[in-house]
Amino acid sequence: QVHLVESGGGLVQAGGSLRLSCTNYGSSFSIDDMGWYRQAPGKQREAAAIITSGGITNYADFVKGRFTIYRDNAKNTVDLQMNNLEPEDTGVYYCYVKMYDLGYWGQGTQVTVSS
């Protein structure tokens, strides 16, 4: 099983930075994609950044140039460095892992960006 624990959310002013971290304390065998999704208030959850097992990254248009995703297979972690944050980035950020074509989610961490 996969057990994801996130940390690093919080309150930051516009233009500031945060780094989200996610550790998988469960099985890491055959982990495929890892990533981060966000859910803004009143909106659906959407992918922000994904990284494959081979290190290929894919970013949503709304984060390109501002966010960077990192993956450490040895430590079973996936981090999201978020720079130049905007109030529109406010929401709950969820860590995501795909294994054997099944998706697993962390509990979410709140990010609030004040203007």
Tracing tokens 């208030």 back to the chain, one arrives at 41
Q: Are strands 31-39 and 10-13 parallel, antiparallel or unpaired?
A: unpaired
Residue 82 confidence (pLDDT) above 80:
yes
Cα 15 to the chain's mean position, in Å?
Answer: 19
20-79: per-residue pLDDT in tens? Answer: 999 999 877 788 999 999 999 999 999 999 999 999 999 999 998 999 999 999 999 999
Asked if residue 6 lies in contact with residue 19, where contact means CB atoms within 8 angstroms, the answer is no
Asked if residue 98 lies in contact with residue 91, where contact means CB atoms within 8 angstroms, the answer is no
pLDDT for 34 equals: 96
Strands lying side by side in the sheet with 4-7: 4-7, 18-24, 77-82, 67-72
